[in-house]
Amino acid sequence: MDTHMSNRKDAQLGWLEISIALGLDSTRGKTITMIASEVGLSKQAISKRVTTFLRMSQLPPAFGLKSETARRVYQQTNGHSARSD
């Protein structure tokens, strides 16, 4: 968590990313799309940062977030090559 936060210029955004990744109360009930709109970023930008935190911390995704396997299947079935973020 410390590494993630120390690499962010915007501490509030860094915390939102951690909260989404861990399913904390501060973001529970909000979609990534809603949060992205609130902070003025794309859903993809937020999702990528959340994925980066999860990969770095070696934690499983919180409820509602796609696992690595689910992301690969989604990419393959939607005509995208499987790639890591």
pLDDT in tens, 26-35: 888 888 889 9
Structural domains counted in the chain? 1
**Residues 6+ positions from 65 with CB-CB distance below 8 Å:** 20, 21, 50, 54
What's the predicted TM-score (pTM) here?
A: 0.66
**Confidence category of residue 41, pLDDT binned at 50, 70, 90:** very high
- What percent of the chain shows pLDDT beyond 90? 8
User: Does residue 82 lie in a domain region?
Assistant: no
Where in the sequence is the domain holding 26, given as residue range(s)?
A: 2-77
User: Does residue 85 lie in a domain region?
Assistant: no
Q: What pLDDT, on the 0 to 100 scale, is given for residue 26? A: 85
User: Does residue 49 lie in a domain region?
Assistant: yes
Residues 49, 32: contact at Cβ < 8 Å?
A: no
SS3 25: coil
Amino acid (one-letter) located at 3: T
User: Does residue 33 lie in a domain region?
Assistant: yes
Output DSSP code: residue 30.
-
